[in-house]
Chains A and B, each alone.
Chain A
Amino acid sequence: NAGVTQTPKFRVLKTGQSMTLLCAQDMNHEYMYWYRQDPGMGLRLIHYSVGEGTTAKGEVPDGYNVSRLKKQNFLLGLESAAPSQTSVYFCASSYPTSGAVDEQFFGPGTRLTVL
């Protein structure tokens, strides 16, 4: 099992450009998440999905869109990148656990720089 993979690993954008980050998981997990992590900060939830075809906003959703067309994939889009979106982006997935909080499995991250 590859677990959670993210594409690309690094990317540099100019202000106003668009791009899509791809997250894939091979664990048949129902739930998937996108986080961003800024220097010295913890992770903040951008969007999440509780199943194929569903998405929901997290703590910091502005400037991002997501899609979950296939159960194993969760895409994060930046329509018009801004320098404030320079960050490391982590994708995670989990399987619903009865009676407890799900264990989330994280990908290796995508380092994005917006100039």
Chain B
Amino acid sequence: LAKTTQPISMDSYEGQEVNITCSHNNIATNDYITWYQQFPSQGPRFIIQGYKTKVTNEVASLFIPADRKSSTLSLPRVSLSDTAVYYCLVGDMKGEYGGSQGNLIFGKGTKLSVKP
């Protein structure tokens, strides 16, 4: 599985746009890029997934350049409630541990702190 590198922490203020970049130089052809969000004392929650170019949903956008060696999660106009840890994951349908499903490897993530 491709190794990912993210900043350990980021600070922002309410109303700002936040961009969190993830590096994955060894991404494979079949790998997808997925982002999860985790609040304290809760399990992670899926935010967005993409393969190339740009993906947008109601909460975030994901930008993936042509070489796919990095990706950027963009959170528009953050609020205090967006304070959480954000994980970037790269993997495909055939997980490292075999089987017919995609195993996910969570790194340490990026701790985003939003201030008033």
Interface residues of A (CB under 8 A from B): 4, 31, 35, 40-45, 48, 50, 56-59, 90, 92, 94, 96, 99-109
**Known contacts A40-B108, A104-B104: A90-B32 contact under CB 8 Å:** no
Q: A101-B32, A101-B93, A102-B102 are in contact. List 15 more A-B contacts (CB 8 A).
A: A40-B108, A42-B108, A48-B99, A56-B97, A56-B99, A57-B97, A58-B97, A90-B44, A100-B51, A101-B91, A103-B34, A104-B44, A106-B42, A106-B44, A109-B41
Question: Which residues 68-95 of B have a CB within 8 angstroms of A?
Answer: 87, 91-93
How many residues of B sit at the interface, in one of the four size bands? 20 to 34
* Tally of contacts, chain A with chain B, CB under 8 A: 72
CA distance A94 to B103 in the complex (A): 11
Determine whether B107 belongs to the interface, using a CB cutoff of 8 Å to chain A.
Answer: yes
A-B contact pairs, 19 of them (CB 8 A): A42-B87, A42-B105, A42-B109, A45-B97, A45-B105, A48-B97, A48-B99, A56-B97, A56-B99, A57-B97, A59-B97, A59-B105, A101-B32, A101-B91, A101-B102, A103-B34, A108-B41, A109-B41, A109-B43
